[in-house]
Structure 1
Amino acid sequence: MNEDKNPQVPNGQNDHLEDFDQRLQRARDLNAGLDQNSKATGADEGKGAAMRIGTELVVAIAVGGGIGFFIDSWLGTKPWFLIGFLFIGNAAGLWNVFRLTKGQSYKVGFDRDKQSEANKTK
């Protein structure tokens, strides 16, 4: 029952472990460099947010217009449903933009975590 916490490793295996440690350290160093290079700057985050906001608005209006167009074609009531659904699509797009800018589109509790992180850095 008298076991060593650091058992003796045969000579050939010790070289193999040292080689593994060196390769592991190189991989960690490389990974750390990639993480530093991949961090988005404030300008990149702003561009991403602007693209998402623009996309949300345009897609909502296009979907509303498409629904209105097809209902008008089906019922023969041109252009009333098209006009109505364009307004509905516009309202939905603006609502989505409002939610995005206020951070309400995140999962439950994410905004709270984001605020606590901001308070920790101050």
Structure 2
Amino acid sequence: MFTVADQDSAVAFYTEVLGWEVRMDVNWGEGETAGRWVEVAPAGSTARLALNPPMGGEPGGGSIGIEVADLAAEKARLQAAGLVAANEMPAGGPVPAMFSINDPDGNWIWVVQAD
């Protein structure tokens, strides 16, 4: 689960910039107890990422890893979308090559070369 300042903006980032899919988007409750549950995921993934307002404190600070078949191609695609690849790590021993990007709320997304 990632905490985000604005669920609509977060959904737009994950779907329009990253190309992920909305898997669930439901409202629940009424009045002061009302809320919204939103889940997104990379196409074909069985894992889901919930995007929720913070329950006190600031949004951001989460971390998730996703595997891609072609790390260099994914890096080029994300950079073309205006994202900055950081923390690049080459493969070494049992650790695969990877880099990170941040969503607009400061959550970390680690992009990892699949075996």
Shared fold (TM-score, shorter chain, > 0.5): no
Which protein, 1 or 2, shows the higher relative CO under an 8 Å CA cutoff with sep ≥ 6?
2
> Structure 1 or 2: larger strand share?
2
